[in-house]
Amino acid sequence: MIVLEYKIKAKQHQYRAIDEAIRTGQFVRNKALRYWMDNKDVNKYDLNKYCRVLAKEYDFANKLNSTARQSSAERAWSSISRFFDNCKKKVKGKKGFPRFKKHSRSVEYKQSGWKLDSATKKHITFTDKNNIGRVKLFGSRNIYFYQPEQIKRVRLVKRADGYYCQFSISIEVKENMQPTGQAIGLDVGLKYFYADSKGNTIENPRFYRKVERQLNRLNRNKSVKYKRGQKQSNNYHKARTRYAKKHLKVSRQRKDHAVKLARCVCASNDCIVYEDLSVRNLVKNRRLSKSISDVGWTLFRNWLEYFGWKFGKITIAVPPHYTSQDCPKCQARIKKTLSTRTHICKCGYIEDRDIAASINILKKGLSTAGHSGTYAWGDLPSWAIGENLSSNGESMNQESPTKAT
């Protein structure tokens, strides 16, 4: 399954209608979650049935397409099922009890409530009672080559730089690649984006750090224009939009960098071994949290696992314990602080700390099955046909093109 994304051009009343549809979807999700909290033995199908009750009780909920209401209820159930899975697996720390949404940015339709223009397919018309109507699509990829029955989901997404329409298309995306006979170990870090077992290093781009002063200035301008107790002015909303666009650009740069590197690594190697890092715990370090979040380790790992699945390659996550302390040659444990960047052993082996760690990671991956192919989106990979897209407005298909800012 792939996801094609187009930017929407419409009139102001249509944008307001899209906002209303998004708020209605958020309302249905929160009501479904409350229904689950207040009643015992509620399952996914009970939440879908509850959508009809909401449509009869609230006129604005009835305006939204029935499949869009069901998709919102399915989002609530996905958070519930994730919570149950974490409890069964005895995940350490917080189990992720479902929470109510405050600021949703998307609404999702299934195979009804919309219609593509049959001639050019550059326009889409939403046929429910929200009065969104016919909007124009802008994008580089042509949806003309796909049949309407192949489109499983249509999603409207609101971002800082405008509104987007995503199409989830059911097609085979796996590629047959010739074996390379290569295996590689990757050690991610802050000095280097990663160092591999072949002695190569990739510099950390530090996208956020490069524009941090600009972001701070935009944030100050936004704060000056807002006064507590007063209505937010147009200048405040303009300043807020400028600040959000800058953050959006940084996130897109980080994603583009991770995609290109992950694809290159998976195309060049048959076996990729990396550390099974708990980034959620690592960012608790108040001195390193900003740098860890900036480098995007989890994003890079997710893309590695996706391209490993797509190309038929092996991806293995191994425990990170002592990978930077053990000597790759004699296995002696040499204690080092974070400031020590060179591994020097009594056996005479001298190497960069990160490269030595990547060699240890590769050895661990080849000596044990490790923890292979973890999908951060649930039991099924995110590209599975019929699965919901990510709730933050990004496409869950890993090859969906993203608009550049």
At 260-315, the pLDDT tens digits run 999 999 999 999 999 998 888 899 888 899 999 999 999 999 999 999 999 989 99
The β-bridge partners of 271 are 183, 314
pTM across the whole model: 0.82
Amino acid of residue 149: E
The closest of 403, 378, 399, 401 to 388, measured between CA atoms, is 378
pLDDT at 100: 94
pLDDT at 372: 52
Question: Residue range 349-365: average pLDDT?
Answer: 89
| 343 contact partners, CB below 8 Å, separation of at least 6 | 324, 327, 334, 336, 349, 350, 351, 352, 353, 356
37-87 pLDDT, tens digit each: 999 889 999 999 999 999 999 999 999 999 999 999 999 999 999 999 999
**How is the chain split into domains, by residue range?**
2-169, 183-211+243-372
